[in-house]
Amino acid sequence: MSKPIYFDNHATTPVDPRVLDAMIPYFTENFGNAASRNHAYGWAAEDAVEKGRKQIASLIGATSKEIVFTSGATESNNLAIKGVAEMYAEKGNHIITAATEHKAVLDTCKHLEKKGCRITYLPLQGDGLIDLDMLRESITDKTILISIMYANNEIGVIQPMAEIGKIAKERGVLFHSDAVQACGKIPVNVIADGIDLLSITGHKLYGPKGVGALYVRRKSPRVQLTAQMDGGGHERGMRSGTLNVPAIVGLGAACELAQQEMAVESVRLRGLRDRLRAKLEANLEEVYINGSMEHRLPNNLNMSFAYVEGESLLMGINDIAVSSGSACTSATLEPSYVLKALGLGDDLAHTSIRFGLGRFNTEAEVDYVAQKMIDVVNKLRELSPLWEMFKDGVDLSKVQWTAH
């Protein structure tokens, strides 16, 4: 077992060695520019890019002409949302999104708000799902876009995509989804889900960092975007810039592998995740799962370990790589806004740990992590005045704290 054990696969994943093998020739012998139309180096690069496009399209049920390459999902989200807002400005200026979106969506929306757009941030239900009735009621004749993530990066909760897509179609509103956590993990199909724009990135599905794609629907409706990067008019004018051929080859290969192995891999990861959950729940009291278990990625577990602060927990399990929703672990010193949106109190948000399992994790690692978590939580509870008060039957919500 090599340490630290990596259980942070929602943050990023290692490149699969098979993906790396596919990429390497495109750094050296096949180094051509895919836009060079008049020699063999360019043709080889273009062939590789078109193969990658096909592999990505196949994973999400699209056609290869609908794939636009970007530098990653942050750029894909920016291009989708800003591109639609500018292109359809005459039709309307209202965008609907959710409170638990990734910052790449939320901050893009905030930017547009300053430019005169109106944004609705849908709240979440306690299980992490959006309320479809509330979505329906939020749509106005000025609404041009709904942007709802496929699966959440902290709690792994999967939104009802097909239902949202149906509502969007009925009302003639475009539907964008940030699908970086879902693609390659669960079946994603832009036709069945009624998705018009979809963001994907390489490094969450065992491909390289620095490459992503945006699916842009070409038929019923044909979606148009205002480019956010001016230049040589690559990618049907939607995203200028010389294509990163080796990374695109890697993203394509990663998508193909994910498609081939998803059925088996997702069952295996679900088994590991459920094993971890069962061990923790059997050996520790006062642990709480954050978000729906039913509508959830197979590789995600997000738990609060009441009365134990998250950063001190991470410090005790320093041979395990996971992340926490505790304020102490974030740059802003605020606890996770995703957990708060579920209605979780700050006290429980501070005690949360996110486990993200991946392709290379083993059952032995799960057993090690579970035991280590149990030992450290018990040790820290012995140190915790809150645990002592809880055990003495004190109602912590009634205590007069000296907040500062």
Partner 1 sequence: MAYSDKVVDHYNNPRNVGSMDKARTDVGTGMVGAPECGDVMKLQIQVNTETGVIEDAKFKTFGCGSAIASSSLATEWLKGKTVDEALDIKNTDIVNELSLPPVKIHCSVLAEDAIKAAINDYRTKQGAPVAAETVAH
Residues that bind partner 1 (CB under 8 A): 307-312, 315-316, 326-328, 333, 335, 345-347, 350, 382-388, 396, 401-404
264/403 with CB nearer partner 1: 403
234/381 with CB nearer partner 1: 381
128/310 with CB nearer partner 1: 310
Q: Which residues, 6 or more positions from 124, have their beta carbon under 8 angstroms from its beta carbon?
A: 98, 99, 100, 130, 341, 342
Neighbours of 371 (CB within 10 A): 13
* Minimum CB distance to partner 1, residue 107 (Å): 23
* Minimum CB distance to partner 1, residue 123 (Å): 20
Give the closest residue to 149 by CA, choosing from 83, 193, 208, 209.
193
* Minimum CB distance to partner 1, residue 5 (Å): 20
29/334 with CB nearer partner 1: 334
Give the closest residue to 390 by CA, choosing from 282, 305, 313, 286.
286
C-alpha 193/C-alpha 204 separation (Å) is 21
C-alpha 280/C-alpha 370 separation (Å) is 6
* Minimum CB distance to partner 1, residue 282 (Å): 24
* Minimum CB distance to partner 1, residue 404 (Å): 6
* Minimum CB distance to partner 1, residue 285 (Å): 16
| 11's tokens | 């943050």
C-alpha 108/C-alpha 74 separation (Å) is 9
Give the closest residue to 291 by CA, choosing from 325, 331, 328.
325
44/353 with CB nearer partner 1: 353
C-alpha 187/C-alpha 317 separation (Å) is 33
* Minimum CB distance to partner 1, residue 324 (Å): 10
263/403 with CB nearer partner 1: 403
* Minimum CB distance to partner 1, residue 385 (Å): 4
C-alpha 344/C-alpha 326 separation (Å) is 12
- For residues 154-188, one letter each, b for 16 or more C-beta atoms within 10 angstroms of the residue's C-beta and e for the rest, the string is bbbbbbbbeebbebbeeeebbbbbbbbbbbbbbeb
Cα 139 to Cα 170, 174, 224, distances in angstroms: 11, 11, 21
Please provide the DSSP assignment of 39-98 as one string: SHHHHHHHHHHHHHHHHHHHHHT--GGGEEEESSHHHHHHHHHHHHHHHTTTT--EEEEE
| 61's tokens | 């049920």
168/377 with CB nearer partner 1: 377
364/396 with CB nearer partner 1: 396
Q: Is 137 exposed, middle or buried, given 0-12, 13-18 or 19+ CB atoms closer than 10 A?
A: exposed
Q: Is 354 within 8 Å of 6 (Cβ atoms)?
A: no
Please provide the DSSP assignment of 103-164 as one string: HHHHHHHHHHHHTT-EEEEE-B-TTS-B-HHHHHHH--TTEEEEE--SB-TTT-BBP-HHHH
Catalytic residues: 328
